[in-house]
A = this chain, B = another copy of it.
Amino acid sequence: MKIKVSIIGASGYTGGELVRYLLKHPSVEISHLTSNSFAGKSIEKAHPSLVSCALKFETCDTDKIAKNSDLVFLCLPHAKSAKMVKEFLDRKVKVIDLSADFRIKSKSLYEKWYGAHPCPELLNRAVYGLCELYRKEIKGAALVANPGCYATATILSAFPLIKKGILKKGSLIVDAKSGTSGAGKKLETQYLFCEVNENFFAYALEGHRHWPEMRQVLGEDFTFVPHLLPIQRGILVTVYARLAKKMERSSLLSLYQEFYQGEPFVQLLPEGSFPQIRSVQHSNFCQIGVQGDSTGTQAIIVGVIDNLGKGASGQAVQNMNIMFQWEETRGLI
């Protein structure tokens, strides 16, 4: 028995990636793909590699889609997404929302970074979909807020330090580097090939929108500086932390191994190895390398994900697998 799923806003990079995953997923059938700009056109106009799948974009007819869908994925800009979430929840359709709208629990905090929230009354129904941390809550959820890409990489890399109580308060620094698809298909000069290619820079030094969502999970203030990489996909975070107590290098790695024991999508690298973005492209994996310094007082953690995989559409599928109580790796490996 397959469930029926639809994607709202399917012409962007996360939408395309989601279609790719769902076409290979044995328990899912795609009902509707919507796109305002591509409505009526066949899918290869936006995603040329999908020419064989014979799908078409439609405009978003909520009633029709709700009737034909057990689950919808929303790949919409923030604020736009929240309204749509309400429409589908009201029609008893489960929702995985890839926007930022339901990631932050606090209405006021959300509004500081994103402007007015269209449906604050739903905030407390949403579960933050970082699978490795909130698996239990996701299982019963009708609305999952799929985490941001920077947030996923940062939290997976830094959280064990905090959870295990070995982070020295106030010492956490995350130097993050992201491929350009993280910005979506936005038509801005800064994302033109000739601006990104052979270039590299830091941005959002005043604060990045993913910060409050990470802060909420980590429960700690920290320094976060994102940079734009001249590559398509992939995020690498280099995490610097002072330790609350001295720790052997190997104990640090053991702590991480223990924390992620049995996790199908988190791969701890052996001592002395550090991950490349290459290793996780086109996958839902997160690879983490752990380094303690010789004095036992500092940890350097390097984590990588594919921003369109574990950082967006891959994790969305993982969330679906959890919600429908399938094995978590289905359609993902």
**Residues of A that sit less than 8 Å from B by CB:** 13, 44, 48-49, 51-52, 173, 175, 177, 180-181, 185, 187-189, 191-203, 205-206, 223, 225, 227, 229-232, 234, 236, 238, 240, 267, 269, 272, 274-283, 285, 287, 289, 291, 293, 298, 300, 302, 333
Contact = CB atoms under 8 A, between A and B. Distances in A.
A163 to B, nearest CB: 23
Q: How many copies does the complex hold?
A: 4
A51 B267 contact: yes
Given A193-B196, A200-B229, A230-B231, 4 more contacts: A180-B194, A196-B197, A200-B276, A203-B274
Dominant secondary structure of chain A at its interface with chain B: mixed
A73 B51 CA distance: 30
A48 B199 CA distance: 12
A184 B198 CA distance: 17
Contacts of A280: 49
A52 B260 CA distance: 14
Contact of A225 (B188, B238, B279): B238
A240 B173 contact: yes
B240 A200 contact: no
Contact of A193 (B191, B203, B279): B191
A231 B200 contact: yes
Given A223-B300, A231-B230, A180 B193 contact: yes
Nearest to A291: B205
A278 B198 CA distance: 7
B49 A278 contact: yes
27 contacts: A51-B269, A51-B287, A52-B333, A173-B240, A180-B194, A180-B197, A185-B194, A187-B187, A187-B192, A191-B193, A191-B194, A193-B193, A196-B197, A197-B197, A198-B231, A198-B232, A198-B281, A199-B277, A200-B236, A200-B277, A201-B275, A202-B236, A205-B291, A205-B302, A223-B240, A230-B230, A282-B282
